[in-house]
Amino acid sequence: MQLSFQNDRVLAVVAHPDDAELLCAGTLARARPDGAVIAICVLCRGDKGQPSKKVANLTDLRRKEMAASAKLVGAELFTGDFPDGTLMDTPRARSKVIEIYRKFNPTLVLAHAAEDYHPDHRAASLIAEAASWFCASRGHRTRSPAIQTPPALWWMDTVNMSGFNPGFYVDISQHVGLKKKMLACHQSQLARGNDTDFSPLEEMMRLQYRARGMQAGVEAAEAFRAHFAFKRGRAW
C-alpha cells in the first residue's frame, strides 16, 4: 500500500520551533514530491529555551532557525507568537489559528497528540482541533472568509513514543537526510544538548524514527493516528 498526498495541502501545527522536525518533517518531505503544498505553523516563540550560554535575542534567532528549516522542505511558515509555557486553549488562540487555517486552506492538519508530554503541546493539540472545526464555520469571523471543508486531522507521535498507540506509519526512509538537515537548523537548541535541563535531540530523533521504522518494516518511519470526529474523518 502506498499513501499519496497528491492533492493535499498539509499543515503541521506544532508548539515549539523544533517540534515539526522531531515528529513530522519526514512526512512533510514525503508529501512534497507527491505534489502536496506544505506549511508549518509554530505556535510558541521558543523564548524560554535558553542554552546555558545565554543567547541575546533568542526569539529572533529561533524565528530565523525555523524559517531556515521550513525553507528546506519548501514549507510556508506561520507563527502564533505565543510565549513558551503559557499556551492555553482560549478564544483568542483559537481565532489566531482559525485565521491561519483560512489563509492556508489545509486539507490535512498534523497536530500534537493529547497524550504528549508538554503542556504547550497539549494546548496546541486542543487549539488545532478546535480550529479544524471552526475554520469552516461562517459564524466564526476572522479577517479571511470561512473555508469550504474542515481539514482532516492526524495526531502526531509523542516525543519518545511514550503512551502513543500508532494508527498507521508513514515511510520516511528516503527523507531522513532532509529531516536531519532541518533539525540542524536549530543550532540554539542543539547547543543545549549537554545542559541538565535538555536532551541530545539528534540521537533522540534518530532512535525514534528507527524504532518506528522497525515496527513498520522500513528503515525509518513516523507514526500517526487519525482523528475521527465529525467532518474531520476521511476515507482514503
C-alpha 179/C-alpha 169 separation (Å) is 16
List the one residue from 159, 178, 183, 201 that touches a copy of itself (CB under 8 A): 159
Q: Residues 188, 5: contact at Cβ < 8 Å?
A: no
C-alpha 122/C-alpha 196 separation (Å) is 24
Cell output for 61: 534567532
List the one residue from 35, 137, 194, 202 that touches a copy of itself (CB under 8 A): 137
Using CB under 8 A, which residues numbered 207 to 236 contact a copy of itself? 207-208, 210-218, 221, 225-226, 228-236
Name the 3-class secondary structure at 153: strand
**DSSP per-residue codes, 6-63:** TT-EEEEEESSTTHHHHHTHHHHHHHHHHT-EEEEEEEE--TT---SS--TTHHHHHH
Using CB under 8 A, which residues numbered 67 to 86 contact a copy of itself? 84-86
Name the 3-class secondary structure at 115: coil
Closest to a copy of itself by CB, 144 vs 160, is 160
Q: How many CB atoms lie within 10 A of CB 157?
A: 24
Q: What is the amino acid identity at position 102?
A: R
Query: Shortest gap between Cβ of 166 and a copy of itself (angstroms)?
Result: 7
List the one residue from 142, 158, 188, 189 that touches a copy of itself (CB under 8 A): 158
The answer to the question of residue 60 lying near a copy of itself (CB under 8 A) is: no
Query: Shortest gap between Cβ of 109 and a copy of itself (angstroms)?
Result: 12
Query: Shortest gap between Cβ of 15 and a copy of itself (angstroms)?
Result: 12
Q: State how far the alpha carbon of 94 is from the alpha carbons of 11, 55, 89, in Å.
A: 16, 31, 7
Closest to a copy of itself by CB, 86 vs 194, is 86
Using CB under 8 A, which residues numbered 2 to 21 contact a copy of itself? 2-6, 8
CA 171 to the chain's CA centroid = 17
Closest to a copy of itself by CB, 71 vs 233, is 233
Query: Shortest gap between Cβ of 221 and a copy of itself (angstroms)?
Result: 4
List the one residue from 161, 184, 190, 191 that touches a copy of itself (CB under 8 A): 161
Which of 4, 71, 67 is CA-nearest to residue 31? Answer: 4
